[in-house]
Structure 1
Amino acid sequence: MTLFSLSPRRQRRLTRALQLVIAVVFLVGAVERNLSVVVNASIALVVTFLPAILERDPEFDLDAGVTLWVTLAVSLHSLGMLGLYTAIPWWDSLTHTLSATVVAGVGYATVRAVDEHTRAVYLPPRFLSVFILVVTLAFGVFWEVLEFSIRGVTDLLGIQAVLIQYSLEDTLTDLVFDGVGAILVALFGTRRLSTTVDSLVGRLERTRGR
């Protein structure tokens, strides 16, 4: 996947730069003893290395653009924890949209690979678009429930919340932009995920043959 018409080499460099940004966010959180920043930055760093772990498998071909896509999403969220969520009104909407595209992309690639792998499953293109939207919104609802639950537990224990839920209006807005992210993938992202889908299909075929 060629993201922003950049070469794979430049995409990898940008990925490393964004990982460095997340590491800096982690250090800032540690110095300021901000638990929410430290926890979110730690999880973000782990997520950015997951594509690299998958790439170690010689049977799995993961495009550099996919890695950059995921890293960009989690890095923007990490930066938001430093205060950008409150300082910039649209930052939350931006991160939700981008994160939703990642969820939608994973959902699409997985289901598309299963569809191509077995004749027992047939998913029409229109259904796939609806599926992407439903899965992304379902994950969005799960995330909002998780935020609410964590906030309730941390308030009960008297400790700092690692995820923040501002209001019901904010939750509904988040879900709207989750839907926007899913629609963007349905309209423009499926072709760009073809390499990933092919890798998953090949892996399923080799697994069945063993």
Structure 2
Amino acid sequence: MLLTGLIRAIQVAIALVVIYGTVTMDLVVVVNGLLGLGTTLLPTGLKRAYGVSFPTTVVLWVAVAVLLHTLGMAGPYTTVWWWDHLTHTLSATLVASVGYAFARAFEEQAPGITLPADFLFVYVVLFTMAAGVLWEVLEFVGRLLASWLGHQPLLVQYGLQDTILDLLFDAVGAIVVGVLSRGRVDWRETPIRELVQRTR
């Protein structure tokens, strides 16, 4: 009940950031805030559509990551030097966890195949880094497109050094989950297993 209340409070906080962006006429803050708010509501949508129940701790984890990113777009990304590093690390752990869960889903659905712990570690890191590179490419393309259209970019890229640091902290988050995956966390407790079974 407490965690659910925290999730609702975070959603209200994100909505307030959207209102702030609307009042200040900051389209970047508004769009990022709305996308973030939609992300926090996604688990509810999946539950209604597929009957998949996400653990409250996972939903809270996603909500915190989204809130930090949304707040960052309102100022901290440019005024607090470690904010971007924090959000990239936290987001990377989310991506890595999804990659790990899908690997375990594949393992269970393919009889006779067992993924060694070392392979899972490398896979989780590479999966997360690939997602990180894709994100950086989207930032770069988004900036070029916005410049071409004469608009402010929705995703900000601060140069090559920023990109390298982003990928470095993506790697930190990936390694954390990769190390934990060596302990063979029971992925069957995750909603991805239910989703895989329902879509077979």
Task: Give the alignment's TM-score, normalised by structure 2.
Answer: 0.91
TM superposition shift of 1:57: 5.5
CA distance in 1: counterparts of 2:111 and 2:187, whole angstroms:
21
Q: Which of 138, 149, 161 is 2:130 aligned to?
A: 138
Tell me, yes or no, if structure 1 residue 55 matches structure 2 residue 47. Answer: yes
Contact 1:101 1:182 in 2 (8 A): yes
Q: 173, 185, 188: which one pairs with 1:191?
A: 185
Q: Could you tell me which of 93, 98, 121 is aligned with 1:101?
A: 93
RMSD (Å), alpha carbons: 1.9
- In the alignment, structure 2 segments of 5+ residues that lack a partner are none
Query: Do residues 18 (structure 1) and 13 (structure 2) align?
Result: no
Partner of 1:79: 71
Q: Which ranges in structure 1 are unaligned for 5 or more consecutive residues?
A: 1-8
For 2:75, what is the secondary structure of its paired residue?
helix
Distance in 2 of aligned mates of 1:154 and 1:183: 34
SS at 1:55 equivalent? helix
1:27–1:129 Cα change, 3 Å? same
8 Å contact kept, 1:36–1:160? yes
Q: What is the TM-score with the length of structure 1 in the denominator?
A: 0.87
Q: Which moved more, 1:56-65 or 1:35-44?
A: 56-65
Alpha-carbon offset, residue 121 of structure 1: 4.0
Instruction: State how far apart, in whole Å, the 1-side matches of 2:74 and 2:40 are.
Output: 19
Q: Give how far 1:40 is off.
A: 0.5
Read off the aligned partner of 1:92 and give its amino acid letter: D
What's the offset of the Cα at 1:62?
A: 1.5
Indicate which of 20, 29, 34 corresponds to 1:37: 29
Q: Answer whether contact 2:43 2:53 (CA < 8 A) is retained.
A: no
Matched, 1:117 2:109: yes
Cα distance in 2 for residues equivalent to 1:58 and 1:119: 25
Task: Give the drift of 1:34.
Answer: 0.6
